[in-house]
Amino acid sequence: MGESSPDTGPVWAPTDGSAAPRTSSTRQEPRRPDSNDRLRARARKDTAAPRLSIVIPTKNEEGNIARLVEELDVIARDESIEIIFVDDSTDGTPAAVRAAATRARRRVTLIHRRGEERQGGLSGAVVAGIRRARGSWICVMDADLQHPPLLIEELLTAIGRDELDLVVASRYRRNDRVESFGLLRSALSKVSTRAAKLIFRGALDAVTDPMSGFFLVRRDALDLDVLEPRGFKILLEILVRTPNLRVAEVPFTFGERHAGESKATTVEGARYLAQLIELRFGPRLGHFVRFSGVGASGIVVNTLAFGLFSGLMGLHYLVAALWATQVSTLWNFVLIERWAFRSRTARRSLRARVALFFALNNIALAFRGPWLVLLVSGLKLNDVLANLITIVGLTVIRFGVSDGWIWGGADAPLKPTVHQYDIHGIVTVQSPVGLPELEPFRVASLAR
pLDDT tens digits, one per residue of 244-288: 899 999 998 876 665 555 555 555 566 666 667 677 666 667 777
* pLDDT tens digit sequence for 333-375: 999 888 888 766 677 888 999 999 999 888 877 777 787 888 7
In the prediction, which pLDDT does 117 show?
76
In the prediction, which pLDDT does 17 show?
38
In the prediction, which pLDDT does 256 show?
65
- Alpha-carbon dihedral sign for residues 394, 395, 401, 407: positive
24-28, 193-197, 296-300: which has the highest mean pLDDT? Answer: 296-300
> What does DSSP say about strands 137-140 and 52-58: parallel, antiparallel, or unpaired?
parallel
CB of 219 closer than 8 Å to CB of 133: yes
- Residue ranges of E strands in 163-295: 166-170, 215-218, 247-251
> What does DSSP say about strands 247-251 and 417-423: parallel, antiparallel, or unpaired?
unpaired
In the prediction, which pLDDT does 365 show?
72
Q: Which of 46-55, 96-105, 409-418 has the lowest mean pLDDT?
A: 409-418
* pLDDT tens digit sequence for 7-60: 433 333 333 333 444 444 444 455 555 545 544 545 544 567 899 999 999 999
Give the Cα separation of 220 and 217 in Å (integer): 9
pLDDT at 443 over 80: no
* pLDDT tens digit sequence for 233-248: 899 889 988 888 999 9
Looking at per-residue confidence, does 431 or 29 come out higher?
431
pLDDT at 415 over 70: no
Helices (H) and strands (E) in the chain, counts: 13, 10
Looking at per-residue confidence, does 182 or 142 come out higher?
142
CB of 140 closer than 8 Å to CB of 214: yes
Q: Of all helices (H) and strands (E), which one includes residue 393?
A: helix 383-393
Nearest one of 277, 274, 252, 220 to 142, comparing CA atoms:
252
Q: Is residue 107 very low, low, confident or very high in pLDDT (cuts 50, 70, 90)?
A: very high
CB of 213 closer than 8 Å to CB of 142: yes
Spatial neighbors of 234 by CB under 8 A, at least 6 apart, are: 122, 123, 126, 127, 140, 213, 227
Give the Cα separation of 90 and 71 in Å (integer): 24
In the prediction, which pLDDT does 81 show?
96
Nearest one of 74, 76, 87, 86 to 52, comparing CA atoms:
76
Residue type, 168: V
Mean pLDDT of the chain: 77
- The pLDDT of 79-88, averaged and rounded, is 95
Instruction: Report percent pLDDT > 90 for the chain.
Output: 31
Give the Cα separation of 196 and 175 in Å (integer): 19
Give the Cα separation of 62 and 92 in Å (integer): 6
Beta-bridged to residue 249, according to DSSP, are 168
CB of 340 closer than 8 Å to CB of 287: yes
Residue extents of the structural domains in the chain:
35-267, 282-406
Beta-bridged to residue 431, according to DSSP, are 419
Q: Is residue 120 very low, low, confident or very high in pLDDT (cuts 50, 70, 90)?
A: confident
Q: Is residue 185 very low, low, confident or very high in pLDDT (cuts 50, 70, 90)?
A: low
Fold classification of 35-267 is Spore Coat Polysaccharide Biosynthesis Protein SpsA; Chain A (3.90.550)
Looking at per-residue confidence, does 143 or 318 come out higher?
143
In the prediction, which pLDDT does 150 show?
94
In the prediction, which pLDDT does 54 show?
97
